Structure formats: structure tokens, C-alpha cells
Amino acid sequence: MKPAPGGASEQLRAVASRIAHGYGLELFDVQFRRESHGWVLRVILDRVPAGPEAGGGEAVTIDDCRRVSEELSAHLDVDPELVGGGDRNYTLEVSSPGLDRPLRDERDYRRFTGRLAKIVTREPVGGQSHFEGRLSGVDDDHVLLAEGKRTHRVPIAAISRARLEVEF
């Protein structure tokens, strides 16, 4: 079984993805790694957007997480090789990406247009590498980020990390 990024196998990702899709959800990430208190299998779920230009939409609920957790747990009990065998103890955590979720690709920048975000670039763009503002969409492989009266054009390829900011 070949590990994938985050320590989870492609087979484990496929099983978790199939289960999530059965509840109208999508797999955001799967991580299987050793932490200070032991092994943790972390499954992060997201709501499937209604369309390509859909906004943030409805959040993943606790009931969504519970249903996926129960079904995935039952599957892992039957096929323990997905997590390296039956003798490995681990904690299963199922959650959403959170209010300050990472933004990973063009689809996310489009989906969360209008939301406040922070972006960090690998190298300076227009003399700066840290940006904060409202996502205004995507144009020609650039994220548009409104900061006051100024709109930054940040090349997607230059972004090292980005996340939504929590607004109250």
C-alpha cells in the first residue's frame, strides 16, 4: 500500500471519498500520522458546491461528520489494512475545514468570492508578499483581492498559502 501526501494511502482516500460522496460531501483532506498522543487518522470533509460559481454555501454539520465517521469506522474495522493493519491503534477524527479554511486552488478562490482572505506568496508581488482583503474572483490565472480602494492581482502560481479569515 503506497502512502499518499499526509501519510494516507490512495486506497484509504478512495474509500473515504466514496463514503463522503454518499452523503453529498467531498473529501477535503485525509491525514494519517503519528502525533504526540499516538496515531491520528484525520478526515476533513467539505460541502459540495451547488455549481462552479457557488458561494461558500451550507457548512458541514456535526451530523455529517458523525455519519461519515460511523460508516468509515465500520469499513476500517472490516479492512484494517487501510491503516496499516489490525494491530495499529489510532484515533479517527472527522471534521470540516473550519471557518478559517485553507484556500487551495482556483475553484476555492472563485467559490469564496466576497469573503475576507489572507494570502502569502513565495516571492514578492508588486513589492509585497502578504496580502489581506476581499476575494474579488479570478482573472487570467490571478486572484483578485480588494484591499480598500486597491485591487491586488496575485498570480495563483506564486501563492504559497492562503486561507479565509473569520468574520463576525
Distance, CA of 3 to CA of 66 (rounded, Å): 26
For 27, the grid coordinates are: 473529501
CB 147, CB 161: distance < 8 Å: no
The whole-number pLDDT of residue 57 equals 62
Determine the pLDDT at residue 59.
Answer: 85
Q: Per-residue pLDDT tens for 62-119?
A: 999 999 999 999 999 999 888 877 677 899 999 999 999 999 999 999 999 999 999 9
Q: Chain-wide mean pLDDT for the chain?
A: 89
For residue 35, what is its C-alpha cell?
Answer: 502525533
Domains of the chain: 5-95 (3.30.300.70), 106-164 (2.30.30.100)
Q: What confidence tens digit (pLDDT) does each residue in 127-149 have? A: 999 999 999 999 999 999 999 99
